[in-house]
A and B are shown apart, each in its own frame.
Chain A
């Protein structure tokens, strides 16, 4: 005979047990996550419906007006397009260069460990510092070289031309991220099972065939991670933008994060700034989720 009371008690006990285990291991993290991420996020959404200026103690409720002004704002739209352009070039260049570096540095060249750490180093320097270093390079070092060697392309600072200033951002972004992505690609390359490569060799595949038909498909998870990371980082970039071009010349290189920040804090229009930030959040979430969904579909098992 089954004692039902016993079963009931066991079930209850197991729920309490589970809760205890959860609280012990994930409780503090959950608490921190809720207070530091969830609550500010919800409060931020609330603020998009107000006319708060970022500092006063009072604000009034104005409905969807802020969202309307986001869609009417030409500066915001232009900055968004510029960011898309920046993301497009930076993500592609970063991943291509990172993969090539990883491929070369796993093929057994001399001193590959040295090169690996060398390429990874830019990632360890903070964005602001890195921006200042490159600012010096673009507006002093290159100009000096250009003047002395008569290279017209470097004769004036790249940072004072809107188009060139945009490319400085891309160059610095690629330089900063490709080392990090390279490490992920290296681990991906090393995890491709040796036996299937060997099998392909026996079947008579050349090294290019092996790369295209065996190595690359096995590395889809690395691509998923790297593209996700670089997408998300480039959409949110602020520090390099601030230190390198400060949005200039004349606001022509203001990426989206900086536009949002300036709207909220410089123009003292916190509600609109917050609405822009929420819009940005939606876009980035959609793009990255779509990307992860499709790259997951492409993954194969050996």
Chain B
């Protein structure tokens, strides 16, 4: 069914292309307008039916505009515009922008972001990974903290250091399904997971688990972390 939908999508895309073969209406390059103030853009766009897109919603919404080939961002902006926020650079132009150490911070990282990031990261868990590599970035900080000093809800139930849960009482299964990324931040190798979730113990896989896909792509290296050869 999915394959059929995929083929239909391709065909539909092809049909649109053919239908538009006479493409007469070319888009206007914006390079010559790059020095204009944003409010002046309306002098053209007002009558063109183009939605204003450099407004207060830009930080949240620019991904849809920028994350595609053929975007026209480079007609006005250099890659510095992207990487100052996405990779922590800056030349001091924007006084409202603060630093985290030597790295400049995007405006979405407000006040004491280190402390509030567990809450902010819940607002669309994918957004952290637009700039940060999940495993290496989070762990480069989390690994330096002594075990027991992180306050995760499911880890606060039991144990002298508040870092132990039990199968019967603990909330870790629910928490992990909702926010597995946070587990990876402190346990990048998943060593604690394997203690209970390896072969013959509690099955961690989703219901529609396609084991062959991951086996083929990793030459079975992943499978062998929990299963004996020939048993998966």
| Chains A and B belong together in one complex | no
Residues of chain A having any CB pair with chain B under 8 Å: none
Residues of chain B having any CB pair with chain A under 8 Å: none
